[in-house]
Every structure is written in structure tokens, then in C-alpha cells.
Structure 1
Amino acid sequence: MFYYKDTLQKTGPELYMKNNRVLHWKTTGEQRRGSWGVNLNLCKEEFSYAYVDAVVAATGYSIVRASRLLDNQGIDIQIAAPGVHGTKRNPHLNAQVKCTWNATLSQTHVVYNKLAVKNYEELIDPRQTIPIILILVLVPDNDDPSTWLQHSEQALCMKRCGYWESLRNWPSTQNSDEITVRLPRTNVFDINGLKGIMSRIVQNGHP
């Protein structure tokens, strides 16, 4: 890191300048930029939405991004299964979508320790009238988003994988900032997983 006693100033959480010239951009944790200066957090967000869009489209369901008002309530996307399913018509599902390279995989779970307490409290709230799940999309830990996707004339591969969990009625927390959540590795967010979620919502109202 560049360091000057005289006119060095920190203009933000990561940017250091001297005499209006950028000297250093600190790149620790999840606050990183790609090799061409792109904001990787924005890339991760868009990539995770693209992953979810692909799964929903292949399942034959509908998806819309939530409005700003709903986004402020912890809802990023809304998924619907058009038509009649059992005794229900057009069942709906809300989801909060996160994307990270900073997760630990055990034999049975994906461990994510960066979930904001505000988001956690929204996800565990039993007063939700439409079921809501957390979708966590994992991407490779590198600064080049173009390596997160491979394609040919035969196939499209998005790296790495998405997982889901319903946090309804999970215990409250005394944490003030972030909390760790564990998502079963069996809860892969794919076509079969999404169909199973909707089937359970139709049967008993919960994912």
C-alpha cells in the first residue's frame, strides 16, 4: 500500500488518493475489481440473476425482478408457476439472491458467513404471506468474470452452482452485522429442485 504522511487521503472504504490521483485500490475480501476495473460485486449480482433466470426458464416458470419497494423488504425476485398445479393456480415464490466466492463447502453443507442480519431477519419472518427462500450462487474466486462461463455450439456452462434454503422460523439472532448460515448441499437450485419447491408450496404452503 502506498503511504504518505502529508496529503494522502482516504476517499472511501477502499480508495486512496494523493493530489487527486488514485494511488491504491485496496482489494480485500469481497470488495474487489476485475482486471479491467469492473465492479465485481455488480458482476456477481448480474451473474447470479442470470443463473436463476436460466433455471426458471428451463423449468417453464415465470420470473420477474422485484420492485425497489420489495427489494427494500428483502425480496429480489418473484417466481410463478403458470397454470393449475394440483389444487392451486399460479403458485408463487419469492427469493433473496446472493452471489459469492467466499463460502466454505463441508461434506454436507455450504457455509456462508456474510449474510446481513437485516436480510436474515426478513428471511426468518413467519409473517411472509408468499413463501421466500434464500438462493446462494457460488462463483470461482478470481477477478475475471469471463472465466465464470464457458460455451460452445453444444453447451453453455455457468460456474459454479446455486443452492437454496428456506429460513422460515429459524431462530432470531443477537448479531448486529452479519450471520453465518448453512445451506444443505442437497438443496441444489436446479430444475428438479425448483419443481420440488413449488410442489411443496402447493401441498402445504411452504418450500
Structure 2
Amino acid sequence: MPNVIMDEAPWCDGRPRARHMPSGCSTVRAASVSISAFRFDHCGGLPAMIDRHLTRQDMRPLSLANMESELSYAYLHAVASHARCACKVSTRHEDNAGVDAQLVAWGPFDGGGYRTEVDLKVQLKATVAEPAVVDGHFAYSLRGIAQYDDLRSQAVATPRILVVLYMPPASAKWIECTEDALVLRRCAYWVSLRGAKASSNGSAQTVYIPCTQRFDGPGLLSLMSRLSRNEVPLYEDISA
């Protein structure tokens, strides 16, 4: 007669699940089977990975690239809050479509139009590279032609912009916290790539971000005011 043991993972109603073991296999041995395995959710969900062998030694500090990404989100949230806008991090599906965050602003807007609620989708980037300035624009190499195509599309209902945070080369200077101030260096700029021409490149496309379009509270409110008048900024291509 096969052995029966009680599985630690219960059914949805909290009852422990009985599990039959082959003849000759003791419950002690069954308990020693690797617990790192897939467990199916009996509520109808997808299998969940359980790994109880993880230790602190398996965890790793954030890489510099991860730090840049997280600080760009912090910058976006701070500026959006200062402009009295809501800021929401995108879902995995939206991220796959080139959207990292979504901003929502509510009127009345200074010099605004008939729209009293405005949505804006954002793709975030951060870089420590010193930007090259061309005719009053920062030249930025945007990796991923699919992301470039998502940003330049005119077939999307919600406007999209690219926000690039320029940071000092030394990570020790990225952020400073004192009794008087929390300083995040340096600054972000935005550009709308809507209407930009298709790229013939394989992996990256250089885009040009106006030096006047600093991503700060007043700049964000000014952009939201334009969108409330249904004025969606188009890309200014200076490479032609």
C-alpha cells in the first residue's frame, strides 16, 4: 500500500493536500526530495516557483545599471509629485511596449484647453555619458529600434515621451542626503519622437533632445497644458 503524506502546500480552502508515494519509498525520503520545484496553484493559476534553499548569499546588490534605473524612477516620481500629477509604474506588458511609467494630470491648467484630465506615457532612460550638444540639442543613442518605433508612432491614443536622466560619471555623486536637502544629480530632459522617420539601423537610433526641454515641475505642467489643448508635440529632426 502506498504511503500517504500531507503536503505543506494546502488547497485553496486551507485543507492540507494528501500526496501518495510509491511503495517502498519512506516518508522520510520523500521529505528529502528537493523542495525547489514547481507547485501548481489549485485555484486555476499558473505554477508558482518555490525555492526554499535561497540564502542571503544568493542575493546580490544592485548593479550600477540597476541603480541608474531606480534613480530615474525616483526622479520621475519627485517631479510628477511637485507638479501635482499622479505617477504609476507600468506593468510588465506595458514595459514590453516601451512604456515605463504613466502620468496623469488634472485641470484646470494654466492656459489649458477643454481637456480636464490628461494622460502621458513615459519611457525612462538614465546615462552617465557626457551628452554631445548639436544645434541646441542633446544627441542621445536610443537602444532598441522596437522602442524607437513605439515612441515615434502616431497611431497611439495616449501621447508618449522619452525622458533621459543625465547623471555624473562617479556614482558617489549621484545622490546626497543632508539635514537640509536630498540632492539627486543631475537633470533630466524630455523629447517627443512622435512622427519621427523610420530607422534603417539595426540596434540603435540617435535622437535629438532640445536643451530647453528640461523635465521639471513647471516644464511638465506646461506640457500637460499643451496636451489639454490637444497639442501633441511632434519630433524635430535636426539630422536632415
Q: TM-score range by the shorter chain?
A: 0.7 to 0.9
- What's the secondary structure of 1:91's corresponding residue? strand
Residue of 126, 147, 151 corresponding to 1:99: 126
The higher relative CO (CA closer than 8 Å, separation ≥ 6) is in 1
| Percent of matched pairs sharing the same residue | 32
* Matching residue's letter, 1:156: L
Report how many aligned residue pairs link the two structures: 170
TM-score (norm 2): 0.67
Deviation at 1:116, TM superposition (A): 1.8
RMSD of aligned alpha carbons: 1.7
Cα distance in 2 for residues equivalent to 1:81 and 1:37: 35
2:230, 2:131 → 1: CA distance?
32
| Aligned mate of 1:139, from 161, 167, 170 | 167
Q: Hey, what does 2:70 align to over in structure 1?
A: 46
Take 1:37 and 1:74, find their aligned partners in 2: how far apart are those partners? 26
The one-letter code sitting in structure 2 at the alignment partner of 1:113 is S
Name the SS of the counterpart of 1:167 in structure 2: coil
Look up the match of 1:80.
104
- Which residue of 152, 155, 159 corresponds with 1:124? 152
**Retained in 2: the 8 A contact 1:103–1:110?**
no
Q: Who wins on radius of gyration, i.e. which is larger?
A: 2
Q: CA deviation at 1:154?
A: 2.2
> What residue is the counterpart of 1:90 in the other structure?
117
* 2:229 match: secondary structure: helix
- The alignment status of 1:164 with 2:187, answered yes or no, reads no
Checking the alignment, whether the CA contact within 8 Å between 1:111 and 1:182 is kept in structure 2 is yes
CA distance in 2, matches of 1:203, 1:82: 13
CA distance in structure 2 between the aligned counterparts of 1:118 and 1:172, rounded to whole angstroms: 11
Distance 1:38 1:55 in 2: 24
Structure 2 distance, partners of 1:160, 1:59, is 19
Q: Is the 8 A contact 1:112 1:181 kept in 2?
A: yes
1:172-194 Cα offsets, whole Å, 9 max, x none, are 11001111111011110001110
